[in-house]
Amino acid sequence: MNAGGRRIGRRLVAALLAVLLVPLSALLISGEISRRSIDGVEAATAQLVAQSGETLEQTQRSVAALVNFNTKAQVLGVAEAIDLAMALSPELIADPTKLADEVEVFKLVRTTVVGRAGFVCVADLATKRILLHKEVDATTLRDVSGLENAIEKTDLAASLARERASVMHARGLAGWRRSFTYEDPSEGGRYWVLVPLKKGSLLVAGMTTRAGLADSVEMDVAKTVQTAKRYLGEVQARTAAVHATFRATLVLAVLLGGLVVLGGLVYVRRRFLRPIGDLTATALAVQRGDLHVRSHVQSKDEFELLSRAVNDMLERITAQLEELERFSEELEHRVIERTEELRHAQAQVLHSEKLAVVGTLTAGIMHEINNPVNFVSGATFTLGREVARLLGLLEEQLDPADWQTEEGRALRSGLDKIGESARLIAQGSDRISSIVTSLRAFARAQDRRAVVDLREGLDSTLVLAQPLVKERIVVHREYGDLPAIECNPGEVNQVFMNLVVNAAQAIADKGEIWIRTARIGDMAMVEIADTGPGVPDDLRSRIFDPFFTTKEVGQGTGMGLSICAQIVQAHGGKLEVGDRPGGGAIFRVILPLSTPGPSTGQHRIAPV
């Protein structure tokens, strides 16, 4: 996440820099361009000023010269003119070779040597001495031969002339190192410029006019004005260019800046606002409770990381919620199951406690009943015996005739009735005795296992169930071969009692009950069938459920068959229900002949 944090930080900084720097640099660049243009304008202006100044100076000088000429030309000799020329431009004279190459030389000469009169002079530049000076008129000056003649009059010139006379003749001033002819068409003036023959000496010849001079000044001024105009135009053009550049730059900078800001906004929106929006929408949806919403940021930065983290989190939360739901459902299911089991167990505990109380009560009652029954039955024995003995004694003592008398018949009848009563009392006490004995089978060893004959248990059950059966039901005992089995007799008898009572109650009026026993392999089978209405198919799966009953409220607990099934299962057997051929139900108890494992009779409560 740290690396991600740095990355988003860098992006932010880059975005900010881009937003700030691009317009800034555009401004800087445009500034530089402007600065340079302005520099150019300044330079041009300076140049213009310099040149204008120079031209102005020149013009001033020309004007001054013109003024000077007007005042001095008449008095100055050529020598003085030369001196003047020298003084005006000493450096040009210093290097005549250079001087000769320059157009200015001509100008110098021309401006210096003024007047209609012409002159020819040869000066030694080294010594600044005029070697030859001859005033010539214009005609002479224009006449080359005349000039030659003038030159030939000097020694130096004579030798020179001899040397190059033919050339000079042919080309005018041929033989000179260089010569220029300047013609001014507008003036009709014609000037020669003679450049030095050799170093140190200069031949200057020239002829000009005053008009020409003035023209020249005018021309200079016009030239200056023209130049100034040119430069001014240039300056204006350059300034305009600078302004245009500046404007363009400004517009460009503004455009660029706007573009960059716009780009920055778009970038920020795409990079930051949109992911944040998406994440916020996701978070709000989650807050509303929609856990199936997912964030879809694909920005390859920490927003995507965050988005993925949020999605992962949501996945986990959803999974956990689902698991929680499943768990709670399962829990609920288990609670229901457990409640059912507990109800079952509670019912069984209640039932067991009831049985235990009944057992204890039975034990006490049996003792209390057996004592009187003991002496009632014992007394009938004595009574019968004594009646018999009394009869015997009377038989001995009385004549047969005496028995025929009314008293005799009454005596015999009374004694017979006493004997009969004794027999009836004995019979009744026998019945009481057998009921008590059967009760004992139930009360005995409620919690103990024993090896017992199931048929005895069935007999005891039938004795106790006698009141329900009476004369309305015929009970068929079809006992097959059955070895004694190991079981909890109290519990097993309870099962039989339940089934017999159910069978008897199922028969509304008169009917029959069959009780059969058989051995099937290593299992004992007891079958109790009745002629009642039978068990409907749709109830068959429920009749062994706790609290299920078809009896009226208050008539049955609905626990009987459920507990029977539990007891039989605890013995490792099973309890089945079926249809009796011909109508009615068959309940079948199947028990193993011997139950493996420790047998303490504590199976009644199903393991929970």
Q: Which two tokens stand for residue 208?
A: 């000009």
Q: How far is the CB of 437 from other proteins (least distance, A)?
A: 9
Measured from the CB atom, the residue of 330 and 430 that comes closer to other proteins is 430
Q: Which is nearer to other proteins, 30 or 380 (CB)?
A: 380
Please state, in angstroms and as integers, the Cα–Cα distance from residue 541 to each residue in 97, 163, 486, 504, 544, following that order: 145, 162, 29, 22, 7
Give whichever of 346 and 382 is closer to other proteins, judged by the CB atom: 382
CA dihedral 39, 41, 42, 46 (to 10 degrees): 140
By beta-carbon proximity to other proteins, the closer residue of 258 and 372 is 372
Q: Residue 484 to residues 177, 438, 476, 478, 488: CA-CA distances in angstroms? A: 171, 18, 21, 17, 12
Interface with other proteins by CB under 8 A: which range of 271-279, 362-370, 541-549, 556-564?
362-370
Nearest CA to 587 out of 571, 564, 605 is that of 564
d(CA 342, CA 357): 22
User: In angstroms, what is the minimal distance from the CB of 563 to other proteins?
Assistant: 25
Task: State which of positions 500-539 bind other proteins (CB under 8 A).
Answer: none
- Which CB sits closer to other proteins, 150 or 373? 373
Shortest distance, position 383 Cβ to other proteins, whole Å:
9
* Phi, psi dihedral angles at 33 (to 5 degrees): -60, -45
Considering beta carbons, is residue 375 or 547 the nearer one to other proteins? 375
Count CB neighbours of 512 within 10 A.
15
Minimum distance, C-beta of residue 415 to other proteins, in the bound complex (Å): 18
Within 369-428, which residues bind other proteins (CB under 8 A)? 369-379, 381-382, 385
CB 459, min distance to other proteins, A: 18
Encoded one letter per residue, x for contact with other proteins by CB under 8 A and - for no contact, window 448-467 reads x-------------------
Q: Which tokens hold the place of 200?
A: 């140190």
- Own/partner long-range contacts of 503-508 (Cβ < 8 Å, ≥24 apart): 503/528, 503/529, 503/530, 503/532, 503/585, 503/587, 504/465, 504/468, 504/469, 504/473, 504/530, 505/468, 505/551, 506/530, 506/532, 506/533, 506/584, 506/585, 507/472, 507/473, 507/531, 507/532, 508/532
Query: 3-class DSSP state for residue 345?
Result: helix
Please count the other Cβ atoms lying within 10 Å of the Cβ belonging to residue 213. 19
State the minimum distance, in angstroms, from the CB of residue 416 to other proteins.
21
Pattern 466-495, other proteins, x by CB under 8 A: ------------------------------
- CA torsion sign for 234, 239, 240, 244 is positive
Using the minimum distance from each CB to other proteins, give the nearer residue, 81 or 366. 366
Under the criterion CB under 8 A, does residue 429 sit at the interface with other proteins? yes
Which helix (H) or strand (E) is 130 found in, with range? strand 129-136
Q: Say how many residues touch other proteins, by CB under 8 A.
A: 24
CB of 449 to other proteins, least distance (A): 13
| Residue 227 host element (H or E) | helix 210-268
What is d(CA 43, CA 50) in angstroms, rounded to the nearest whole number? Answer: 10
**CB of 327 or CB of 381, closer to other proteins:** 381
Closest CB 422 distance from other proteins, rounded Å: 13
Least separation in angstroms between CB 359 and other proteins: 10
- Gap between the Cα atoms of 236 and 229, Å rounded: 10
Q: 294 vs 444, which CB is nearer to other proteins?
A: 444
Among 440, 455, 519, 540, binds other proteins (CB under 8 A): 440
Residue nearer to other proteins on the CB measure, 160 or 436: 436
The tokens describing 262, both together, are 């716009």
- Buried b / exposed e over 339-351, threshold 16 CB at 10 Å, is eeeeebbebbeeb
Chosen residue from 193, 366, 458, 529 binding other proteins by CB under 8 A:
366
The residue within the footprint of other proteins, chosen from 219, 445, 518, 577 (CB under 8 A), is 445
Which member of 363, 411, 418, 501 binds other proteins (CB under 8 A)? 363
Q: Which residues bind other proteins (CB under 8 A)?
A: 363-364, 366-379, 381-382, 385, 429, 433, 440, 445, 448
